[in-house]
Amino acid sequence: YQVDSAAVMAAGVISPADTAALLKQMTINLKDKDYLGKQELIILDMLRTNNWQRPIYYAITVSPDQFVKLDPYFQQTGLAYQLVPMEVKGKARSVNTEKMYDNLMHKFRYGGLEHDGIYLDQTIMRMCHTHRSMFVQLIGALLKEGKTDKALKALEYCKKVIPEKNVPYEILSVGYDYDRGIFKLPDYWHQVGRDKEAERILVKMAQTSIEYLEWYN
């Protein structure tokens, strides 16, 4: 797919700082696909005819088999991936920290989770864990970029709008670094110099796990 760089820059699809990473051609490898469904053909047609006039997004909950092999060009902006004409998979720019920070900190609403006495069923609780895990991804990306002040603000805001009194800390929502064998959210508190908060979260997670084990037994 040939990329119209002028159209990309005019539409503000990528930031001026990423101009050097702008591709002249996007390769979409479909060799492992036995067939393409109508929804996939529509996506490819949108890419061919839209010419970046309107942004194309995938919700983070969409199954990867619907990506039409476009995921190397997915840049996370919040609860969605934006299709961009850059190779971002596995790179620092896989998260657009500017857009994601603005979305999570200023635009998203969290439904009054900070209030006492509310009930969250299993479906809503999973959504809350998803939102907390989005903060984890944003904060990790900010720290990699050396933006410690913004990372701390995001940590404090996440604690405020998704409090543990209503959304307990669980393994999936705090993130797990398989390479280093550590939980991400407590580690990020440690990286911004808040060791007591990091330790408190880990102790709480351990207590909850022990309670579950005792109940199962």
Q: What is the pLDDT of residue 137?
A: 95
Q: What is the pLDDT of residue 59?
A: 94
Those residues whose C-beta lies under 8 Å from the C-beta of residue 211, and which sit 6 or more positions away, are none
Q: What is the 3-state secondary structure (H, E, C) of the chain?
A: CECCHHHHHHHCCCCHHHHHHCCCECCCCCCCCCCCCHHHHHHHHHHHHHCCCCCCEEECCCCHHHCCCCHHHEEECCCEEEECCCCCCCCHHHECHHHHHHHHHHHCCCCCCCCCCCCCCHHHHHHHHHHHHHHHHHHHHHHHCCCHHHHHHHHHHHHHHCCCCCCCCCHHHHCEECCCCEEHHHHHHHHCCCHHHHHHHHHHHHHHHHHHHHHHC
User: pLDDT class for 146, splitting at 50, 70, 90?
Assistant: very high
Sign of CA dihedral 202, 206, 212, 216: positive
User: 52-111, pLDDT tens digit by residue?
Assistant: 999 999 999 888 888 888 999 999 999 999 999 998 877 777 899 999 999 999 999 999
pLDDT of 35 strictly over 90: no
φ, ψ for residue 25, nearest 5 deg:
-145, 135
Q: Which residues of 95-122 are buried (b: 16+ CB within 10 A; e: fewer)?
A: bbbebbbebbbeeeebeebeeeeeeeee
Q: Which pair of structure tokens corresponds to residue 148? A: 């410690």
CA R_g for the chain: 20
Q: In this structure, which amino acid lies at residue 27?
A: T
Sign of CA dihedral 146, 147, 153, 157: negative
Of 40-44, 105-109, 136-140, which gets the smallest average pLDDT?
Answer: 40-44
Q: What is the pLDDT of residue 131?
A: 95
The C-alpha torsion from 88 through 34 and 58 to 154, rounded to 10°, is -50
pLDDT of 206 strictly over 90: yes
What integer is the mean pLDDT of 117-133?
94
Q: What is the pLDDT of residue 19?
A: 86
User: 158-196, pLDDT tens digit by residue?
Assistant: 999 999 999 999 887 899 999 889 999 999 999 999 999
User: pLDDT class for 202, splitting at 50, 70, 90?
Assistant: very high
Q: Which pair of structure tokens corresponds to residue 207? A: 């207590």
